[in-house]
């Protein structure tokens, strides 16, 4: 049996944190009991290993003072012990704010400075401590709903559109820039050039950029420092070698067949092109770009141990802890089903109730369920690309219409709303006569004499194979027709 002796409220918090860390270490249960022996504040303490609470996102731990025998004082996220606290065996405690760097302090500039926070920890964006002298306009820790990764107020570049997807904010820019100006444009908004880390994210980005008419876009990966060693802009390596190479530490990649190949000596940058995947390319070629709000990943998040920069770690999302090891909180932009959240749009009111309990129906739309899908029929006249943006802003995508039940429900809603024709999420924007749904799954191959995959409902003679008819509309008859994507009309959305 382990005996934990408590001498103050700070000690109590630490003891409970230590017990939780031991109990849940490595996501497995270790038999453990703790008894509390209450003692007066001026009593000595008996040994225990020093433990520190998680500190800021700068990778450091919060200040803690020991009494020389391993017991921890402070370290509970506060600025540390004050001069009024009782003195224990080892002598005076550190006094944050006196301008003297003492044991347990990372810095002490007699208050906040450009390099030091008021609690005597290093100034760092993402540590949850606002420091305007360090150039921060905001600092909400790991939550990106109200503050960007650069500790600026979120804003969207003129001519670009901003959307949330699975708790991450993206900015899509059709403007064509070379890689460095594109990266600068992202950083001006407190964001970073996009880094793709999963197949789901890859699919989402390809879908949205294709709908927006972006055939390719910059990717935040280079091998400029060392030929054949591909790293993200923050220096994290993910691929070694040419096309026959291999991922580093199992990292995600989606290179096109035969890529990367260094076709020319200066192909040191990367792009996402068509449906083929990633390609190494020349850095100064102008193309559209996508920006992303993301903090540096933490290797230890999910191991069940609260480490530096983590507020919690329950191995997986729980009622109290998000998957990124930040506290579960409605309005942080991260959907946590274990905490009872149905949606979370960062309290922007774009598509989610303020308490994260239910989706909001987009303005000007009729929402309903059919065929296992959450649908919306929207009457505003928009081009196919504009309709894709409108669905995305509502946390939805253009409806892929995967079944007859969905098709019939949408037609019924359109009839009741006096809508004759409307866009659905089918297109051959990537490759002529290869029709895809919004989730990028194949829907139809060839022209009207071709064949479909899954449910389709093209009218006779459609798709026509015409070079300028790359998007699908539902006719008043209920059947589908290929049409020019620039035609303004109503549209149907589907919940992601």
Query: Could you give phi then psi for residue 473, rounded to 5 degrees?
Result: -120, 155
The reported pLDDT for the residue numbered 306 is: 87
Query: What CATH number labels 160-292?
Result: 3.10.100.10
The pLDDT score that the predictor gives to residue 91 is 43
C-beta of residue 64 within 8 angstroms of C-beta of residue 52: yes
Residue carrying the six token digits 């760092």? 124
At residue 35, the pLDDT reads 36
Supply the pLDDT for residue 167. 67
Choosing among 3.30.2130.10, 3.10.310.30, 3.10.100.10, 3.40.605.10, the CATH entry for 365-495 is 3.10.100.10
Q: How far is CA 350 from CA 239, 354, 456, in A?
A: 37, 10, 31
Specify the pLDDT at position 146: 65
**Spans of the chain below 70 pLDDT:** 1-93, 142-146, 166-167, 274-275, 295-299
pLDDT value of residue 3: 43
Instruction: Report the pLDDT value the prediction gives residue 93, as an integer from 0 to 100.
Output: 63
365-495: same fold as 160-292?
Answer: yes
Q: At what angle do helices 199-211 and 384-393 cross, to 10 degrees?
A: 140
Give the count of beta carbons closer than 10 Å to the beta carbon of residue 278: 21
Where do the domains of the chain lie? Answer: 160-292, 365-495
- The whole-number pLDDT of residue 407 equals 98
Tokens of 354: 């303020």
């Amino acid at each position: 049996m382990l005996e934990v002796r408590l001498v103050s409220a700070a000690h109590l918090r630490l003891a409970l944190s230590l017990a939780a860390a031991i109990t849940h270490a490595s996501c497995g249960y270790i038999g453990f009991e703790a008894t509390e022996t209450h003692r007066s504040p001026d009593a000595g303490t008996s040994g225990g290993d020093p433990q520190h609470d998680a500190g800021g996102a700068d990778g450091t731990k919060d200040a803690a003072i020991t009494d020389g025998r391993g017991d921890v004082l402070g370290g509970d996220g506060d600025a540390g012990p004050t001069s009024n606290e009782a003195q224990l065996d080892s002598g005076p405690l550190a006094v944050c704010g006196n301008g003297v760097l003492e044991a347990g302090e990372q810095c002490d500039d007699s208050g906040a400075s450009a390099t030091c926070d008021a609690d005597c920890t290093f100034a760092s964006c993402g540590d949850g401590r606002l420091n305007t002298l360090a150039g921060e306009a905001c600092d909400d820790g790991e939550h990106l709903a109200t503050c960007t990764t650069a500790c600026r107020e979120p804003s969207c570049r003129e001519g670009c559109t901003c959307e949330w997807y699975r708790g991450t904010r993206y900015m899509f820019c059709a403007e064509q820039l070379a890689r460095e100006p594109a990266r600068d444009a992202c950083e001006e908004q407190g964001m970073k050039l996009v880094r793709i880390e999963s197949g789901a994210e890859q699919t989402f980005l390809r879908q949205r950029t294709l709908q927006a008419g972006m055939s390719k876009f910059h990717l935040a990966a280079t091998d400029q420092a060392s030929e054949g060693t591909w790293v993200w802009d923050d220096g994290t390596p993910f691929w070694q070698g040419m096309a026959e190479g291999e991922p580093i530490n199992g990292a995600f990649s989606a290179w096109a067949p035969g890529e990367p190949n260094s076709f020319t000596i200066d192909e040191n940058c990367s792009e996402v092109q068509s449906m083929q995947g990633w390609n190494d390319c020349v850095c100064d070629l102008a193309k559209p770009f996508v920006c992303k709000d993301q903090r540096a990943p933490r290797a230890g998040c999910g191991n069940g141990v609260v480490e530096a920069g983590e507020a919690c770690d329950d191995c997986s999302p729980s009622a109290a802890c998000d998957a990124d090891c930040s506290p579960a909180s409605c309005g942080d932009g991260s959907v946590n089903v274990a905490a009872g959240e149905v949606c979370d749009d960062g309290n922007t009111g774009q598509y989610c109730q303020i308490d994260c309990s239910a989706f909001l129906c987009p303005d000007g739309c009729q929402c309903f369920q059919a065929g296992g899908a959450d649908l919306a029929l929207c009457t505003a006249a928009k081009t196919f690309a504009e309709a894709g943006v409108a669905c995305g802003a509502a946390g939805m995508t253009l409806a892929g219409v995967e079944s007859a039940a969905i098709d019939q429900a949408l037609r019924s809603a359109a009839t009741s709303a006096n809508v004759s024709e409307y866009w659905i999420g089918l297109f051959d924007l990537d490759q002529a006569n290869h029709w895809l749904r919004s989730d990028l799954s194949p829907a139809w191959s060839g022209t009207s004499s071709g064949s479909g995959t899954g449910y389709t409902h093209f009218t006779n003679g459609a798709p026509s194979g015409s070079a300028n008819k790359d998007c699908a509309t539902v006719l008043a008859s209920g059947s589908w027709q290929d049409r020019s994507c620039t035609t303004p009309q109503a549209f149907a959305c589907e919940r992601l």
